[in-house]
């Protein structure tokens, strides 16, 4: 790890071992960590995959269901677990009284009431079931529509890895993420590789986590989107720590901000040629650079302590 350009005052030092062991003994085993960022391409998947490989007995969930790419680095054999479905309305025109209750109820505008019939637009339907609830004629039935797939790594894999994929052309990532989260084993720590941005899919991941790691780089774009993601995490009251990726690149704006706000910088991944080369070859760098295993393990211990004390935000 390179020497930081400026003195870091917000590095975490844990002194109270008794306190730590007291709280990590129970809750930490169930720890759920979301690896997020505002900006895309900051290194979420890199951090999630390397962290998962560094610590043992952890479950890795690829929640970036629009473009799940953890397995590009893991290369596990995947087995189908379940098809994700959305319940969409099916209208029986013989029973429909054209009362328009369904179409005026639908907040997503998935139903249109024409003077002589109701048209449905399944791609816009969020599957809330409200339309069939308000249909007094009983003309609406719900039918399943596949929107995505959940897969898991075969049992002989070195890591418990579960991955969701949204079908091509589908718009709703959140139901796939929700289905994915139903496969969590509550007895072991979880790492979520989150989608980028700050929209519904990200919130469904952050909101399910005990701790949120924001991966960023200290560039104008990286900092801008980091602030958006931070705002989202704070709204959800999830404690936050930062991983500075490509450290040495750009400026020191993220670091200065974190110092002023008391946000811990958990790890710095330098803008290193070897790391970049391994990434380009699809190799998680903890495998080839064993000194990083320890750094990720330390980061995990720090997160456990911080989440337990509920500091960071």
Partner 1 sequence: MKICISACGKDPDSEVDPQFGRCNYFVIIDPDIGSVTSIKNPGSEASGGAGIRAAEAIAGAGVNTLLTGSVGPNSFSILSEAGIETCSGIRGTVAFALREYQAGKLAVLESPNASTHSGIKKS
**Of 19 and 121, CB closest to partner 1:** 121
**Of 103 and 219, CB closest to partner 1:** 103
Binding pattern for the stretch 116-155 against partner 1, x by CB under 8 A and - elsewhere: -x-x-x--x-------------------------------
Cβ 110 to partner 1 shortest distance, Å: 6
Interaction of residue 105 with partner 1, rule CB under 8 A: no
**How do 211-216 and 190-193 pair as beta strands?**
unpaired
**Nearest one of 250, 229, 251 to 242, comparing CA atoms:** 229
Q: Which of 13, 115, 168, 237 binds partner 1 (CB under 8 A)?
A: 115
Q: Which residues contact 253 (CB under 8 A, 6 or more apart)?
A: 218, 220, 223
Q: Which of 45, 59, 103, 174 binds partner 1 (CB under 8 A)?
A: 103
Cβ 87 to partner 1 shortest distance, Å: 18
| Rounded CA separation 257/254 (Å) | 5
Interaction of residue 110 with partner 1, rule CB under 8 A: yes
| Rounded CA separation 293/274 (Å) | 15
DSSP 77: P
Mapped onto helix, strand or coil, the DSSP state of residue 196 is coil
Cβ 171 to partner 1 shortest distance, Å: 8
Interaction of residue 97 with partner 1, rule CB under 8 A: no
Interaction of residue 112 with partner 1, rule CB under 8 A: yes
Mapped onto helix, strand or coil, the DSSP state of residue 274 is helix
Q: Which residues pair with 146 in a beta bridge?
A: 85
Q: Specify the DSSP element, H or E, that contains 79.
A: strand 78-91
Q: Which of 109, 158, 252, 310 binds partner 1 (CB under 8 A)?
A: 109
Task: Kindly state the tokens that stand for 232.
Answer: 């989202």
**Of 108 and 279, CB closest to partner 1:** 108
Kindly indicate which of the ranges 3-11, 12-20, 105-113, 279-287 contains the residues binding partner 1, using the contact rule CB under 8 A. Answer: 105-113
Interaction of residue 277 with partner 1, rule CB under 8 A: no
CB atoms within 10 A of CB 35: 28
| Rounded CA separation 301/55 (Å) | 10
- Write out the residues near partner 1 by the rule CB under 8 A: 103, 107-110, 112-115, 117, 119, 121, 124
């Amino acid at each position: 790890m390179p020497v930081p350009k400026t003195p870091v005052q917000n590095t975490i030092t844990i002194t109270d071992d008794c306190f730590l062991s007291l709280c990590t003994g129970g809750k930490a085993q169930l720890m759920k960590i979301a690896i997020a960022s505002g900006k895309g391409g900051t290194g979420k998947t890199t951090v999630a995959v390397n962290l998962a490989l560094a610590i043992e007995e952890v479950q890795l969930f690829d929640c970036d269901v629009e473009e799940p790419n953890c397995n590009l680095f893991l290369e596990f054999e995947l087995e189908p677990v379940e098809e994700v479905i959305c319940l969409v309305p099916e209208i029986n025109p013989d029973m429909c009284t054209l009362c328009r209750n369904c179409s005026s109820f639908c907040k997503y505008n998935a139903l249109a009431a024409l003077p002589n019939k109701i048209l449905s637009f399944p791609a816009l339907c969020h599957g809330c079931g409200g339309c069939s609830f308000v249909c007094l004629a009983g003309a609406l039935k719900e039918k399943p529509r596949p929107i995505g797939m959940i897969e898991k790594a075969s049992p002989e894999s070195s890591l418990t890895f579960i991955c969701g994929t949204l079908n091509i052309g589908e718009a709703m990532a959140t139901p796939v993420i929700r289905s994915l989260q139903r496969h969590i084993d509550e007895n072991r720590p979880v790492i979520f590789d989150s989608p980028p941005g700050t929209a519904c899919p990200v919130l469904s991941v952050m909101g399910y986590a005990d701790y949120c790691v924001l991966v960023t780089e200290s560039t104008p774009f990286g900092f801008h989107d980091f602030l958006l993601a931070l705002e989202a995490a704070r709204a959800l009251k999830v404690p936050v720590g930062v991983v500075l990726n490509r450290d040495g690149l750009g400026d020191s704006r993220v670091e200065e901000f974190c110092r002023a706000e008391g946000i811990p910088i958990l790890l710095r991944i330098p803008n290193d040629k070897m790391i970049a080369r391994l990434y380009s070859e699809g190799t998680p760098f903890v495998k080839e650079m064993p000194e990083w295993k320890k750094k990720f393990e330390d980061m995990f211990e720090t997160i456990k302590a911080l989440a337990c004390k509920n500091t960071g935000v």
